[in-house]
Structure 1
Amino acid sequence: MFGKIILGLLITLGAQAAPKKIVAEVNGEKITKEELDQAYLLNKYVVSEDPVTMKRVLTDLINKKLGLEKAKKAKLQNDPDVKRKMNEVLFNAQVSKDLEDEFKKIKVTDKDVKKFYEEYPEYRTAHILLRVRVAPSQNEIEAAQKKIFEIHSEVTKEPTKFAELANKYSQAPNAHTGGDLGYQPAFFMAPEYFAAIKGQKDGYITRPVRTQLGYHVVKVLGVKKFDEINMGVYKKFVYDRKRDKIIANYFENLRKKAKIKILDEKLK
């Protein structure tokens, strides 16, 4: 009995000590069969025009080893831009690791989507845009304001000519189509833009609205009914909102545990 136990231990130890099979070497750095098999399996899940073969995957691994070797020799890990990108990868990896189980618990029902859509309905709008720079001068602001109010006055006197006036005045790329933006989900719009049309009906024309792009006059052309929306797309929107709430709570808790000093009172 004792001899069988010893024999079993020797077999186990021998199996553990067995060297890994080497399938290639790149400037002295080895590529194991296990490494190749894992890479092959991952590649099988990626849609590609070329067939996935062991030879192709091995070539990719060799290329990666050569690229990494060159990057290390050049000490790219010390490059500020590379460090920034590496920090982004580490940041996202840590958040995903910590919150993966929470994300898996997220459920989105039709009721959730309906409640969300009541708050953020989908509008079809047209607009007339006067662009201003990100940091405009006071003279530029005053000139743009004067002009947009003149346009607004002209539009409200003859609402049926909105498309014609958009073609005449708007500095947006879609001016030639009468400023028609089609139907857009609410948060594809600038917050100020959506706030100006929210709750309004077909034909409504806003007062001039300032966004990061400039000054707009907006006309509501339609409001999509709930049963007309793409349910799959909106479930994704609701999922993202729930996920973002989890992330916000996660960082709020991290901030509470950290020692944080804001040295410029104006930034609080």
Structure 2
Amino acid sequence: MDKKVLAVVAGEEITEEQLNEFLKNVPREQQAYASNPQFRQQYLEQLIALRAFAQLGEDEKLDETEDFKKIMENARKDILAQMAMAGVMKDIKVTDEEAKAYYEANSQQFCKGETVNAKHILTDSEEKCSAILESIADGKVQFEEAAKEQSTCPSGANGGDLGEFGRGQMVKEFEDAAFAAEVGHVVGPVQTQFGYHLIKVEKKNEPVTAAFEEVAANIKSTLLQQKQNEVYTNKVKELKERYVQQ
């Protein structure tokens, strides 16, 4: 199937396999459409156009010009550099033992501080906020319904739910009130730069340290990059001493 001929340009065949290779260069966000017939046809037309222009360049003997030779020489050097760097880097690896040792030596990096799950209602005046609080306290309305009906924050559509957040993620006045509140109690009005809030804490979460298995891939990626940077720096120094004349 990959050898199927899709077009012939100046006597040269364009196969399914060549189109698939060409499609590997499309933007990542478009890769999902690679099997769509219309999408493939669009890129086939582009490939045909490129081949046609290349043939035009040959007909006009552009490959014999000095500009062409300079571009090809630069491309040759770039390719050689990339292949040489790949060769230098190919044996660099990070073992499970190295990753585990880093995890144990830097456990504070993987500690997630205390968090809360909370909901809120935002209003533009203290009087309105207090009136809503009174209605909730009297049982006339549930917190979530009041949020949907009267909160000016987009979270109101979800009953005021802000999800889970930690310290430093909210403005200080709101954060202080939320972390000081008892679970299930409504506190407020709390004034911030955004207006007046009623806050209902649903849950408080103690600090936790992520398990090694959760962060192992990220640790290995970080250590691999560190190793590669070190090898690259040392190799550049070596090559400068070998090849560069000051």
Q: TM-score, normalised by structure 1?
A: 0.39
Bigger fraction of residues in strand: 2
